[in-house]
Amino acid sequence: MEKEIQEAFQKDLERITSYQEIQEVKNKYLGKKGIVTELTSNMKDLSVEEKKEVGRLANTIRTYVTEEITKVEQRIEKEELNRKLEKDTIDISLPSEKIRRGSRHPFQRIVEDVEDFFVSMGYDVVDGPEVETDENCFQRLNVPLGHPARDAQDTFYIDPEYLLRTQTSSVQARTMQQNTEKTPIRMICPGKVYRRDDDATHSHQFGQVEGLVIDKNVSLADLKGTLELFAKKMLGENTKVRFRPSFFPFTEPSVEVDVSCFKCGGKGCPLCKQSGWIEVLGAGMVHPHVLEMGGYDPKEWTGFAFGTGLDRFAMFRYEIPDIRYLYTNDIRFLEQFDRKDEENEIK
Ligand code: PHE
């Protein structure tokens, strides 16, 4: 009996070629009405001795059948895999999908160039918060509460004490206070500022870079020399710089700085409105009272400060007609600048 089952089972096994057939064979032997199960179906009529014998036999066959079926299962799996591998060959000559590369934002390119220049001149690059106190943004820069100069910078106030900084000059006030040893300062601070303004050349958010130098015997000539080098680095070797008297509450004297138009070289064109010059910077000698509020004795120390809009530099360099392009993150716009930098041979 045992042998008969075994032979039949072997024959069944050999015929298996698919998963479905495995299930059928499994059922035939081990299922509820299967051959092995049937062996023990009339156990209750047997004697104790016979029960033992039949039980042992059934178990042996069950184990044997299970093991053999598992082996076949593994074999079939392997065969299916091989069949798949043979059929699904990969055509390595097919062109691959183009990977889209990101590119540096024009704004970021300008920031990196500004940082490179000033770091090479021994400046630190510092950072300050965009949510700032009225004290750092105005009061410590000689703009007390109620001062008319506040009107010039339409400020987003959070509450009477806190605001979104309107100028990176707030970082001048911070840097002076934080330098508790009152040692010389040479810093720039690129960052975002906010004003209630919105049109093709003004955005409610834009970029500035602040510069502050405090030391003994710093003069307006140092400021001019520094800014001349800076303008040449940013806009080309032939760039000239011109100072015009101006007013800022925190500098005295104050100047507005023009650069010769890099489009027409100073001859006059639509970009410079035929004047040959373009205004790029506000600057001046740090006001004695501002030095004092920062803990520096104005009899001992002098300094200069300057602030410039980063967006304007980006717009000039890349001839971007609308400031809003810088903030809408349109990939078609952003992709152009690797090529433009190559054409302009600006690294
Ligand atoms: N903070 C001034 C502005 O936003 C620019 C400036 C900075 C002027 C430093 C003088 C010195 O207009």
132-164 tens-digit pLDDT: 999 999 999 999 998 887 876 789 999 999 999
Residue 225: pLDDT band (50, 70, 90) is very high
**Ligand 1 residue neighbourhood (C-beta within 6 Å):** 167, 169, 248, 251, 282-284, 305-307
User: Cα–Cα distances in Å, from 277 out to 201, 224, 262, 306, 323?
Assistant: 18, 16, 9, 18, 20
pLDDT at 263 over 90: no
Q: What is the mean pLDDT of the chain?
A: 89
pLDDT at 215 over 90: yes
Q: Which of 165, 167, 285, 311 to mutate to test the pocket of ligand 1 (most atoms within 8 A of CB)?
A: 167
| CATH architecture entry for 106-346 | 2-Layer Sandwich (3.30)
pLDDT average, residue stretch 208-219:
97
pLDDT average, residue stretch 174-201:
93
Cα of 209 vs centre of ligand 1, distance in Å, is 9
DSSP string across 110-142: HHHHHHHHHHHTTPEE----SEEEHHHHTGGGT
Q: Which of 169, 203, 214 to mutate to test the pocket of ligand 1 (most atoms within 8 A of CB)?
A: 169
pLDDT average, residue stretch 334-346:
70
For residue 285, the model assigns a pLDDT of 98
Cα of 182 vs centre of ligand 1, distance in Å, is 23
Could you identify the atom of ligand 1 that is nearest to the CA of residue 283?
Answer: 10
pLDDT at 1 over 70: no
Rounded CA separation 192/206 (Å) = 6
Measured by CA distance, the residue closest to atom 9 of ligand 1 is 306
Query: How many degrees, rounded to 5, is the angle at CA 260 between CA 284 and CA 286?
Result: 5
With contact defined as beta carbons under 8 Å apart, do 209 and 308 qualify?
yes
**For the CA atoms of the chain, what is the radius of gyration?**
41
Q: Where are the domains of the chain?
A: 2-87, 106-346
For residue 75, the model assigns a pLDDT of 87
For residue 344, the model assigns a pLDDT of 61
Q: Which residues contact 58 (CB under 8 A, 6 or more apart)?
A: 36, 39, 40
Cα of 249 vs centre of ligand 1, distance in Å, is 9
Beta bridge partners of 214: 185, 303
pLDDT average, residue stretch 31-53:
83
Cα of 199 vs centre of ligand 1, distance in Å, is 21
Give the number of residues written for the chain: 347
Cα of 281 vs centre of ligand 1, distance in Å, is 8
